[in-house]
Amino acid sequence: MSIISLIIKREFIAKVRNKSFVVMTFLSPLLFVAIAVFIGYLSSMKAETKRIAIHDETGLFAADFLKENKNSSEFKYYNLSEIDVKALKDSITKENFSGLIVIPKTNDKKDLESKIEFISNNSPSISFIENTQDIIGNKITKLNLEEAKLDTLAIQKAQSNVNIHLVKASGEESLKGLNEIKIGIGGAFGYLIMMFIIIYGNMVMRSVIEEKTNRIIEIIISSVKPFQLMIGKIVGTSLAGILQFMIWAIIGLGLMFAASAFFGVNVGPTARISPEMMQSAQHEFSGSAQMYIAELWNLPIASIIIGFVIYFIGGYFLYSSFYAAIGAAVDNQTDSQQFLLPILMPLILSVYIGFFTVVNDPHGTIAVVFSMIPLTSPIVMLMRIPFGVPWWQIAISVSLLFASFFLVVWFAAKIYRVGILMYGKKPTWKELYKWLKY
């Protein structure tokens, strides 16, 4: 067995046999589900009802606010127009009310657009202010129409509420929000890659620092070349990460099959729902679940999974080379912080590009360019794949990614070769540049 194979085997077994690795492999999916359920529970909890006092000197708007008490449980409005404003302000100070809406009396309704006040101890939410402005604005608009002797009922009936029906070119029904689901799937895989590049990359760096500080490295390199040791650590750790992801994928697919069986959806790439079923189930939860699950099975699942594995391997290899070089250059993790920021910035940039650009234009110039750049392609391209990406773009992206990996490994090996035997001196960027010339 070759030396590199022995190093890969040692690193892989050391990671897989670790108790924390075994526990987190099976516990992490449960934690994700528990967190999702907990967030859903928190979002379903009703907020404390806030008491809002209204001082309406015009007598035109209080009734409209009181109608909101039937529709909103978050705010409860009280018409206190007969009470002096100063007394009402004191009640705000004493927190008897959360806020006070003061509508002064004016001769011109146009003046109301800039003279209405909301008094409170704390800044109100944007949604509350917008809702208050809508109530007052709609009322003023209605009064203006009546003064102009226009039939407000006829105008209201003339208003249109458009609901666009989505249909594919093949004649099948489509769903609203499908693009958001696609970017969510791609974003989840991209985010996992980013997190595991950081987690497992740090493992490589810590492993190198530990062997270096314990002087074990001096014994190891007497029979192993630094380049072989670096490659072995990177590959062995990445195999442990891939094994963990495969277990999670199996658990995830199992849950998806279970959900499909529960809602009675035929799984597979040919899963379809007739337009009649979609229309009849439009307002029912079970029908909506059937439609969305069927659409999920129509996504390029094989391409997403294969792309995830390829980009995980390529992205991890690329960034782990940087982590291994940093681990060889420093004596402790504290000194490594100055070198980590340039590595993390492309990962953070790719996440923002994915969520703010790919979702709006997955085949636009920015999305395509950053899905080709090796430092950002593992995340950006994964966000594009659910939307359908030409095979030649994927081929170019993967080729550039692995070519960059071999180039970076060549440079990182130079730093690694010198750095693993350097002790007691904090390296600078200038020092690292000198090591590249050795």
DSSP 212-247: HHTTHHHHHTTTS-HHHHHHHHHHHHHHHHHHHHHH
- CATH code of the domain occupying 50-155: 3.40.190.10
Closest CA to 340 of 352, 329, 326: 326
Angle at 373 between CA 371 and CA 378, to 5 degrees: 55
Task: List where CATH 3.40.190.10 sits in the chain.
Answer: 50-155
Q: Are the C-beta atoms of residues 76 and 49 closer than 8 Å to each other?
A: yes
User: pTM of whole model > 0.85?
Assistant: no
Q: How far is CA 251 from the centre of its chain?
A: 21
Half-sphere exposure of 203 (CA within 13 A, CB side): 22
SS3 of residue 103 by DSSP: strand
Each residue's pLDDT, cut to its tens digit, for the chain (438 residues) gives 578 888 888 888 887 887 877 887 888 777 777 787 787 777 766 667 888 889 888 888 888 888 888 877 778 888 888 888 888 888 777 777 888 888 888 877 777 777 888 888 888 888 888 888 888 888 888 888 888 877 777 877 777 777 666 665 555 555 555 666 777 777 777 788 888 788 778 878 877 777 777 766 666 767 777 778 778 888 887 788 778 777 877 876 776 676 556 655 444 444 444 454 444 444 444 455 555 565 566 666 777 788 888 888 888 888 888 888 887 777 777 777 778 888 888 888 888 887 788 777 888 888 889 989 998 888 888 888 877 788 888 899 999 999 988 888 777 777 777 777 676 667 777 777 777 776
Half-sphere exposure of 9 (CA within 13 A, CB side): 6
Token pair recorded at residue 276: 């009649």
Q: Which residues contact 220 (CB under 8 A, 6 or more apart)?
A: 211, 229
Closest CA to 23 of 244, 256, 254: 244
